[in-house]
Amino acid sequence: MSSLLRLIFLFTALVSGNSAAAEQPHDTAYIAIIIDDLGNHLGRGQKAIQLPAKLTYAILPHAKYTHQLAELAHLGGKEVMLHMPMANLGHKPMGPGGLTQHLTETEFYQTLEQAIEQIPHLKGINNHMGSQLTQQTQQMNWLMSQIKQRQLYFIDSRTTADTVALAAASARQIRSSSRDVFLDNDPTFDSIDQSFKILLAKARRDGTGIAIGHPHQATLDYLAMVIPGLAAQAIELITVSALIQRQQAHDLQVVLDASSYAANPIE
């Protein structure tokens, strides 16, 4: 087989492998659910953390209950993230300690460091808002250099289709992934239910899925209702860090399989 034919075969094997994964549901699918915007309301935060599952909690810096809720989540065996405020295209208030394109590199690092120091036990960072800032390559490179240094992971909340955040993270080989579904853009039961079913369908197709929700009463009530039934559907709810690890293992296996095909072509 010529070198060109081997390259064509390798590409075909990768594409057909991905297609098969899309067509055949996984035996067990894994989902991670991030609850954003914690820190301003103690009662809502407590109720979210009390959900009996391995949810991940993204906490705003400089809020009234930031430290208390981070400690509470950690004591409950839950995973904690920094929900980092970033500039948005709608010019909506970010809250204190946000990152903007107007900060110098030194100011950017200082603002980020102050936010990180606000939240004990954090394992990763995702963006709060950020539809403007996550499009800025320079600022995303600054962000990822600090995330890499602190050995954290990054989740792109994908508040804009034009984000470059995940590409910046991948370029530095940072543990990273992106949001697949927002559960409660419309915080009504029917809308949350529809979004949750999209999440499960994505996880069954690809093996994993990440959703972001908020501490709305409807969201917390819905999750309390559906979480106990996930195991019967062969769905496992895991932390974000565990899900990233699974995604990385899957990606590595795809590369190894492709290498095997290239080294042992079918004549």
DSSP 31-91: EEEEEEEETS-HHHHHHHHTSSS--EEEE-TT-TTHHHHHHHHHHTT-EEEEEEEE--TT-
CATH numbers and ranges of domains, the chain: 25-263 (3.20.20.370)
Please report which helix (H) or strand (E) contains residue 205, including its range: helix 189-206
Nearest to 189 by CA among 162, 143, 231, 220: 220
Q: Tell me the two tokens of residue 38.
A: 């914690």
Give the chain's residues under pLDDT 70: 1-26, 253-267
Q: What pLDDT is recorded for position 260?
A: 56
Q: What pLDDT is recorded for position 253?
A: 65
CB 123 within 8 A of CB 82: no
* CA pair distance 139, 130, nearest whole angstrom: 11
Nearest to 66 by CA among 53, 75, 56, 57: 57
Q: What pLDDT is recorded for position 244?
A: 98
pLDDT digits (tens, 9 = 90+) for 108-156: 999 999 999 999 999 999 999 999 999 999 999 999 999 999 999 999 9
* CA pair distance 173, 49, nearest whole angstrom: 31
CB 49 within 8 A of CB 228: no
The answer to whether the Cα torsion of 71, 209, 53, 39 is positive or negative is positive
Give the up-direction half-sphere exposure of residue 222: CA atoms within 13 A in the CB hemisphere: 21
Q: What pLDDT is recorded for position 72?
A: 98
Tell me the CA distances in angstroms from 6 to 3, 10, 13, 253, 255, one per residue in order: 5, 6, 10, 20, 16
pLDDT digits (tens, 9 = 90+) for 255-266: 666 665 555 665
Q: What pLDDT is recorded for position 21?
A: 40
* CA pair distance 69, 43, nearest whole angstrom: 10
Q: What pLDDT is recorded for position 252?
A: 72
Q: What pLDDT is recorded for position 27?
A: 87
